[in-house]
């Protein structure tokens, strides 16, 4: 519900920008889902209130656009109710850490170049702790930078995304193999690699897995028919994926129980590049038991 207290009309001292923002957060917290609030609103930092313009900082342009488009009008109404006058709600990109200073008044600072939009040269009010510091130990040139590891790895959102668990994809694989294999084959190869393990530094390799066509299809977000077609494609079989069908005896005879899959974890040269460079790829990189079987 909008705050009905009109600070100026009642002669009551207006809240400072920190207090006003806390009141706005209190309203928004009850109106939004917890996930949306913690993802988009809670990270915003109140920067200042000057000449009827209330400014907050967002971590990036995506956060700024989201708040402006979905909450801009609502936040404006809340602020106008608090200040008792028309208010312009302004969101800037200021992607540093935000730490509210105690007993400090806003000071006039020009935002460092890495904290503002490229198309904006406006000055704004910042807390002293908002101003980026120079750390020569981080860069050889002494350029202003921010360390964002806590933001990337320490949030509830990161617990789900797990940014430390990534798959390395070379530009060569994307630029040179994709036109030859097609999107379906590329996603199936990546899905198969995600089921394996390879550490080039130690040489540890686990590239044979027991799986099913359906599991591989689910990981790659394609149909089982597509998986079967891709696994039997000549280029895929020659350079990336080999499989053999696991069969078990039942009372009614032999039935298929899944597949054993061997995955090549590094990127081979394309046939054209092999000819150009004279660096020929090993034709049989796979184990003997994966030779020649098709379903």
pLDDT tens, position by position, 31-41: 888 878 888 89
Q: What are 51-77's pLDDT values in tens digits?
A: 999 999 988 887 888 899 889 999 999
Most confident of 93-97, 163-167, 197-201: 197-201
pTM, two decimals, is: 0.49
Position 122 pLDDT exceeds 80: no
pLDDT tier, 233 (very low <50, low <70, confident <90, very high otherwise) = very high
- pLDDT tens, residue by residue, 159-172: 787 776 777 789 99
Give the lowest-confidence range in 32-46, 76-90, 245-259: 245-259
**Mean pLDDT score across all residues of the chain:** 77
Domain ranges of the chain: 17-132, 135-166, 171-290
CATH number for 17-132 (one of 2.40.50.140, 3.30.300.180, 3.30.390.10, 3.30.70.100): it is: 3.30.300.180
Neighbouring residues of 225: CB distance < 8 A, sequence distance ≥ 6: none
What is the rounded CA–CA span in Å between residue 242 and residue 293? 9
CA nearest to 105, candidates 25, 39, 49? 49
Burial class (CB in 10 A: 0-12, 13-18, 19+), 170: exposed
């Amino acid at each position: 519900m909008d705050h009905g207290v009109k600070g100026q009309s009642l002669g009551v001292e207006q809240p400072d920008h920190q207090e006003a923002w806390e009141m706005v957060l209190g309203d928004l917290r009850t109106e939004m889902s917890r996930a949306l609030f913690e993802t988009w609103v809670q990270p915003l930092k109140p920067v200042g209130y000057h000449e009827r313009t209330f400014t907050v900082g967002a971590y990036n342009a995506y956060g700024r656009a989201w708040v402006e488009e979905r909450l801009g009008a609502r936040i404006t109404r809340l602020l106008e109710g608090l200040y008792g006058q028309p208010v312009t709600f302004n969101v800037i990109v200021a992607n540093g850490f935000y730490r509210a200073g105690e007993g400090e008044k806003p000071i006039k600072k020009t935002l460092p170049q890495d904290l503002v939009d490229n198309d904006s040269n406006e000055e704004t009010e910042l807390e002293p702790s908002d101003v980026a510091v120079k750390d020569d130990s981080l860069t050889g040139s002494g350029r202003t930078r921010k360390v964002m590891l806590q933001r990337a790895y320490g949030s509830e959102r990161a617990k789900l995304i797990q940014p430390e668990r990534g798959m390395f994809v070379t530009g060569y694989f994307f630029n040179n193999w994709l036109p030859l294999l097609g999107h379906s084959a590329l996603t199936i190869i990546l899905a198969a690699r995600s089921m394996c393990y390879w550490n080039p530094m130690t040489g540890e390799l686990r590239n044979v897995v027991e799986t099913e066509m359906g599991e591989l299809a689910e990981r790659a977000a394609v149909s089982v028919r597509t998986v079967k077609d891709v696994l039997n494609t000549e280029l895929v079989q020659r350079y990336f994926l080999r499989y053999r069908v696991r069969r078990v005896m039942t009372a009614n005879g032999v039935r298929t129980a899944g597949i054993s899959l061997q995955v090549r974890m590094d990127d081979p040269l394309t046939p054209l590049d092999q000819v150009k460079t004279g660096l020929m790829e090993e034709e049989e990189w796979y184990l003997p038991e994966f030779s020649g079987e098709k379903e």
